[in-house]
Structure 1
Amino acid sequence: MRTLLSLADIDQGEVDFEAVIRSPDVLARVLLVLPDLVWWASDGEEHGSSEAGDNPAECLPIRVFDWGRPLDRAEPFIASLGSDPAAVRWDLDAWPEVPEAGLDAIPQKYAYLTLTVNSRDLYQHEPSPDHTVHVHARDRNGDQLARVHWLAAQVGGRFTGRVELAPL
């Protein structure tokens, strides 16, 4: 992820977190990273939420939807998760122009990187023992795959996934 992020314009970037926290140990570690965590009980807000001032440890499992955090919170959050599933999305300023690869700049509205932790999909429905990188890049010329293939090559990999339209 660090290499991919180094290729993006992230001066004003921020990071968003979505997770399902099931254990008190994971919750304690996450709260060290994000003491004012935004969450609600998996059974629904009426069973507990950060907005109501409830104790998250008494409402497990909880769902986390915490957005607009500083970039430096991402790695500690990921390290705190253990085997619980999550999605960490870096909201980039842009994917810069790469003239030698024929790639135009992609503005902030369409420039994201998401790491799904212990999950294959963006919504934590497909459990996995590892992580998956999702590249969000909507090119005005309609050639999103050119950017994805170029990024994969920059990290010594190749595109092995599938193209999906995801609501942002």
Structure 2
Amino acid sequence: MSNSRAAAVLTTPDLTEALHAIRTLLDIADLHHSEVDFEAVIHSPEVLARVRHVLPDLEWWASAGKEHGSSEAGDDPADCLPVQVYDWSNPLDVAEPFIAALGPSPAAIRWDLNSWPEVPEADLEYISQKYAYLTLALNSRDIYQDEPASDHTVYVHVPSDDDTARIEWLAAQVGGRFTGRIEIAPL
């Protein structure tokens, strides 16, 4: 297993601004064979119903542990709240309906990109799919939903901490700035 570095490039309380930044970064990336993954913590039956409408077959387990309920055991998630939900390898167009369904729930939405392109005028080399990701921490200060927040953070992934030129260039494309905050993201 390898890791990427998830660098925070924009934090905002405005979800519209965060989504605009995500769309801008997606326009820069090579999206050939791209997909989106979801992780969230759901506390309310209303949010759960909306999320299951978007992703009816999502994997979940009780936040207290799988022994307290899981999709694997065939339990009803509404009886096991709060629950952790995971869904992998979705088409890109599912991301925004999932985000809308979540309301105030903390989540991480990760776009698995084909690559970050070469940018000759900024002296940036091509980065392969292995390290080309984009994450939105929704209602959370981190990509693991450990620190709930009222704002949202956009992260760009790069292979190493010393790839600050790409981080700063991508941040500038969305009106953000790199503050030095990096999280290790297992892939």
Q: Give the TM-score normalised by the residue count of structure 2.
A: 0.84
Alpha-carbon distance between aligned partners in 2 of 1:55 and 1:74, rounded to the nearest angstrom: 24
User: Per-residue deviation at 1:43?
Assistant: 1.4
Counting aligned pairs with the same residue, the percent is 70
User: Per-residue deviation at 1:54?
Assistant: 1.3
Alpha-carbon distance between aligned partners in 2 of 1:161 and 1:25, rounded to the nearest angstrom: 37
Alpha-carbon distance between aligned partners in 2 of 1:161 and 1:132, rounded to the nearest angstrom: 13
Task: Describe the shift of the 1:56–1:164 C-alpha distance in structure 2 as closer, same or farther (beyond 3 A).
Answer: closer
Select the residue among 147, 151, 162 that pairs with 2:166: 147
User: Per-residue deviation at 1:45?
Assistant: 1.3
Alpha-carbon distance between aligned partners in 2 of 1:92 and 1:160, rounded to the nearest angstrom: 23
Cα deviation 1:15-38 (Å, max 9, x = unaligned):
111110000000011011101111
- The match for 2:33 is 12
User: Per-residue deviation at 1:70?
Assistant: 1.0
Moved over 2 A (4+): 163-168
- The match for 2:3 is none
Q: Give the TM-score normalised by the residue count of structure 1.
A: 0.93
Question: What amino acid sits opposite 2:110 in the alignment?
Answer: R
Matches within 5 A, 1:79-118: 79-118=100-139
Alpha-carbon distance between aligned partners in 2 of 1:130 and 1:81, rounded to the nearest angstrom: 14
Alpha-carbon distance between aligned partners in 2 of 1:156 and 1:118, rounded to the nearest angstrom: 20
User: Per-residue deviation at 1:56?
Assistant: 0.9
Alignment partner of 1:129: what SS? coil
Alpha-carbon distance between aligned partners in 2 of 1:156 and 1:128, rounded to the nearest angstrom: 21
In the alignment, structure 1 segments of 5+ residues that lack a partner are none
Cα deviation 1:91-139 (Å, max 9, x = unaligned):
0110011111101110011110000000010111111101001110116
The question of 1:42 aligning with 2:30 is answered no
User: Per-residue deviation at 1:161?
Assistant: 4.5
Alignment partner of 2:121: what SS? helix
RMSD: 1.3
How many residues of Structure 1 are paired with residues of Structure 2 in the alignment? 166
User: Per-residue deviation at 1:163?
Assistant: 2.8
Alpha-carbon distance between aligned partners in 1 of 2:88 and 2:95, rounded to the nearest angstrom: 11
Select the residue among 46, 53, 56 that pairs with 2:74: 53
In the alignment, structure 2 segments of 5+ residues that lack a partner are 1-21
Alpha-carbon distance between aligned partners in 2 of 1:123 and 1:150, rounded to the nearest angstrom: 25
